Amino acid sequence: MRPSLKDDFMDATVAFSKNHNEPLWFQKMREEALINSEELSLPVYEKINYRSWRLDHPKNPFAEVNTDQKFDQPETNNLLIQDGDQTLVSKLDPKLAEQGVIFTDIWTAMQKCPKLVQKYLLTKTMKPAENRLVSLNLALMNGGSFLYVPKNVQIKDSIQAVYLQDNDQKKDFFHHVLVVADEGSEVTYLENFLSRGNTEENIANVVVEVVAEDNTHVHFSALDQFGENVSTYLNRHGYVGNNSELDWAIGFMNDAKVVGDFGTDLRGEGSHTEAKVVAITTGEQVQGIDTKVTNYGQHSIGHIMQHGVILQSSTLTFNGVGHIVKGARGSDAQQESRVLMLSRTARGDADPILLIDENDVTAGHAASVGRVNEDQMYYLMSRGIDEKTAQRLVIRGFLSSVIREIPEEEVRDRLTEMIERKLLNGQQD
């Protein structure tokens, strides 16, 4: 019989909430989520089996740990660095602050702008009782941030965040990010999840909400690097209003077992999303990524592009789901999922799913799972390039079709560096 989460964590949850001066409405949300989590089901994803990963059996989410760490900061005027519930760096261009932009940890936001947080937190992208893992994220949240861009504010420089998970400490990681772009605004947001250390076995539960109100444009980029002993649930969901666009660029460069739940609801007329995903698995790692776009609004556009590489005895699964609901006339749903395997013991799946409930629409999909092109390898090696270098060149070419579609040069460069690191580690004897 599974132990009672309510009995195990209610007292610690209440104490942590009060210690962080959380408003009563949020304390109540936490407590209700903890109680409800025991009755909710785990989310189900096609061909992704993660139930043995302990994701719904948390330990020590509120343990006190040492956070006196050094970190190389990105060169930017708008930066937030968090180590668990501790904020190490928080800076925002004064000109943006004067325009009403808010970028801070979630607890400061609850104190300074509680109505804004309450308006958007788990109200538009998903609900507190979405599933057991979302409910646990709310109940046991021990880190988080809030970005708000007011109406008609156009931000030219990127907003960056680094979230550190310490894997030398016995402490599970429950992080929540809320990004809101109000009407007529534009913002580029880049987040990086990093693990430090490798001595403990922890879980990470991350929920990210992105709300793009009417007539907005949000560029969202994420570079994920959780360590090999961290079993991870990554849930990123977006809400897109009328004539708005939400562009996603996600790099799954993790070294651990990961299930990614990645979705966008195109709620408004003329809403648009471009979801680009790159993933690499090595060793005996398992990554399952479920990417879904749902067209609710008329003349909405939802495109998914996923490319992944599998090395050694690892497993990578791409699910692509395009759903056009009844009434979403004139909408478009397209997807492409491709997996490249570099080992006979590797396992890969690319599963396209189209759910079309309206006639006046366009939709299509492409999916493939294959091995390195032998002709390309022969050509490169015949010119004096060693096998491992040739293999990396072929992989770069395979992934470049996604990477070059990412508009932010900084994101392209950093993702390319991560890919090279991942490939070098994966090719070690």
pLDDT at 429 over 70: no
Angstrom distance (rounded) from CA 271 to CA 263: 14
Distances (CA, A) of 64 to 44, 88, 193, 207: 33, 16, 20, 22
| Residue 141 in domain | yes
Q: 10 Å Cβ neighbour count for 53?
A: 17
User: Picking from 90-94, 147-151, 287-291, 340-344, which range would have the lowest pLDDT averaged per residue?
Assistant: 340-344
Q: In terms of pLDDT, which residue wins out, 251 or 429?
A: 251
DSSP 74: P
Residues paired with 63 in a beta bridge:
none
| Residue 249 in domain | yes
Angstrom distance (rounded) from CA 264 to CA 297: 12
pLDDT in tens, 68-91: 666 667 778 899 999 988 999 999
pLDDT in tens, 359-386: 999 999 999 998 877 787 777 788 888 8
Give me the chain's average pLDDT, please: 93
Residues paired with 103 in a beta bridge:
147
Count of domains for the chain: 1
- Closest by CA to 259, choosing from 279, 286, 292, 277, is 286
User: Picking from 46-55, 82-91, 401-410, which range would have the lowest pLDDT averaged per residue?
Assistant: 401-410
Contact status, residue 91 vs residue 157, Cβ threshold 8 Å = no
Instruction: Please report which confidence band the pLDDT of residue 50 belongs to, taking 50, 70 and 90 as the band edges.
Output: very high
pLDDT score at 400: 85
pLDDT score at 405: 79
Contact status, residue 88 vs residue 81, Cβ threshold 8 Å = yes
Q: Label each residue of 136-178 as H, E or C.
A: HHHHCCCEEEEEEECCCCECCCCEEEEEEEECCCCCCEEEEEE
Angstrom distance (rounded) from CA 308 to CA 288: 11
Angstrom distance (rounded) from CA 264 to CA 34: 26
| Residue 76 in domain | yes
pLDDT score at 324: 98
Query: Could you tell me what percentage of the chain is helix, strand and coil, using 3-state DSSP and rounding each to the nearest 5?
Result: 25, 40, 35
In terms of residue numbers, what domain contains 108?
A: 42-372
pLDDT at 397 over 90: no
Placement of tokens 């990105």 in the chain: 74
| Residue 328 in domain | yes
Please state whether 236 falls in left (phi above 0), alpha (psi between -120 and 50) or beta.
beta
Residue 371 phi, psi (nearest 5): -110, 170
| Residue 118 in domain | yes
Instruction: Please report which confidence band the pLDDT of residue 344 belongs to, taking 50, 70 and 90 as the band edges.
Output: confident
Angstrom distance (rounded) from CA 257 to CA 386: 31
| Residue 414 in domain | no
| Residue 25 in domain | no
pLDDT score at 171: 95
pLDDT at 3 over 70: no
Angstrom distance (rounded) from CA 190 to CA 408: 10
Residues 388-392, mean pLDDT to the nearest whole number: 83
- What pTM does this model have? 0.95
| Residue 36 in domain | no
pLDDT at 2 over 90: no
Angstrom distance (rounded) from CA 82 to CA 193: 10
Residues paired with 351 in a beta bridge:
319
C-alpha of 352 from chain center? 20
Name residue 346's amino acid. Answer: A
pLDDT in tens, 162-191: 999 999 999 999 999 999 999 999 999 999
pLDDT score at 71: 64
Angstrom distance (rounded) from CA 292 to CA 320: 6
> Using only C-alpha atoms, what is the Rg of the chain?
21
pLDDT in tens, 197-248: 889 999 999 999 999 999 999 999 999 999 999 999 999 999 999 999 999 9
Angstrom distance (rounded) from CA 212 to CA 396: 32
User: Picking from 111-125, 144-158, 334-348, 365-379, which range would have the lowest pLDDT averaged per residue?
Assistant: 365-379
CA angle 46–49–52, rounded 5-degree value: 155
pLDDT in tens, 278-333: 999 999 999 999 999 999 999 999 999 999 999 999 999 999 999 999 999 999 99
